Amino acid sequence: MLVKKNIGFTLLEILITITIIGILAAVATPSFITFIKRDRLVTNSNQLHSVFKFARSEAIKRDQTTFLKVENNQWLAKTAINSTQTTLNVFEITHSSISVDLKDIEVTSSGELDKTYQILVSDSDSTTADFVLCILQSGQSWLAEDPEIC
């Protein structure tokens, strides 16, 4: 005698599976949103730091002063090439929730600056830690989550 087996899922099994997936998604969403916010801050901080290091290396390589100028909410690395101010690199904020306290900086041909700088990268959200680009007068720089480290 042949026994016929039903292959498939019952409606109750499908509803239970969908409910479990919904609960897991609801639990994971807040941490995923925090991850996205932190990633935005890290990305902008790293790009900012990269533009500063590029401007410093260009000043040393070219043996001439390089300027980091704030124009239209961008940070432009500029230097004189054939008596014309030429933009070598640009930092632009990648997301509207991020704010960066950009400053005009002059980097001498030896890679030094006139003073120390702290440039804040923030998203004005208390759930994520802000970053600070710390720049010493000697030209050394690093990123920190705590402004006191600068």
Task: Report which of 148, 51, 145 is spatially closest to residue 107, judged by C-alpha positions.
Answer: 51
Q: What is the pLDDT of residue 86?
A: 92
State how far the Cα of 134 lies from the Cα of 42, in Å rounded to an integer: 15
Cβ distance 53 to 77 under 8 Å? Answer: no
**In the chain, % of residues over pLDDT 90:** 71
> In the chain, what is the straight-line distance between the N-terminal and C-terminal CA atoms, in Å?
83
State how far the Cα of 125 lies from the Cα of 130, in Å rounded to an integer: 9
Q: In this structure, what token pair is assigned to residue 139? A: 């030209």
Sheet holding 131-135, edge to edge: 99-100, 117-122, 131-135, 141-144
- What are the tens digits of pLDDT across the range 46-74? 999 999 999 999 999 999 999 999 998 89
| List of domains in the chain | 12-144 (3.55.40.10)
- What are the tens digits of pLDDT across the range 77-134? 999 988 889 999 999 999 999 999 999 999 999 999 999 999 999 998 888 999 999 9
Q: What is the pLDDT of residue 2?
A: 64
Q: What is the pLDDT of residue 4?
A: 67
